[in-house]
Structures are given as C-alpha cells and as structure tokens.
Amino acid sequence: AQKITQTQPGMFVQEKEAVTLDCTYDTSDQSYGLFWYKQPSSGEMIFLIYQGSYDEQNATEGRYSLNFQKARKSANLVISASQLGDSAMYFCAIKSYNQGGKLIFGQGTELSVKP
C-alpha cells in the first residue's frame, strides 16, 4: 500500500521568502511518481510539479522545486520568493505505475503568506 505523510498542518512564511513543505512517502513499488497540487480557497486542484522515481535531477517549475531524496523517501516542495497568492492548501501525492495510475494524497499543508 502507498502512503503519503505531510506533518505540517499549517505553515506561515513572509512574503518574498522561501518556504519548504514536507512530504514523506511509503511505497513498495520501484516505479512511481510524486506530485504536488495547490488548492486555493476557491477549491480547484492545480497541478504544480512532478518527480518520477527514476529521475536523477530534482524537478523545477518556475518558483517551485522538488527536493527529492529517494533513500529517505521524501519529496519536499520548495517555493521560492513567496507571493500572497501562494496562500493555499498544498497536497503531496504518489502514483504507482504498477497500479494503473492510482493517485494517493496526503492530508495537506495550509500555507499562509504574510505581507
């Protein structure tokens, strides 16, 4: 079974600073992907970034980067230069490619950006 653990229910960050949101995972599969989604107060799910288990380099997408440590089974999201619009819920998720694309989510971290 796959599992995602996000240990930070809530985080605060000052505008323009960087913030790291933690994510650890558990899976017995060798081939999997890790995803981060953002959910603003309006409720939609917005895809941010993806890391494959065989990718050797950490993924980056604009101000988002994923600090992937395979041996530690962690996939932390780093947001650089935080903006007020980054205030939202952030979810880490894992997809096993041996299980037809089933995506399992963590509990989420609520990020608040202070001006």
Q: Which of 91, 94, 111, 113 binds another protein (CB under 8 A)?
A: 91
CA distance 38 to 88: 7
Q: Which of 15, 17, 26, 47 binds another protein (CB under 8 A)?
A: 47
**DSSP string spanning 74-100?**
EEEEEE-S--GGG-EEEEEEEEETTTT
Of 16-24, 44-52, 54-62, 65-73, the window that binds another protein (rule: CB under 8 A) is 44-52
Residue 106 found at the interface with another protein (CB under 8 A): yes
Q: Which of 70, 72, 102, 114 binds another protein (CB under 8 A)?
A: 102
Write the DSSP symbol of residue 59: P
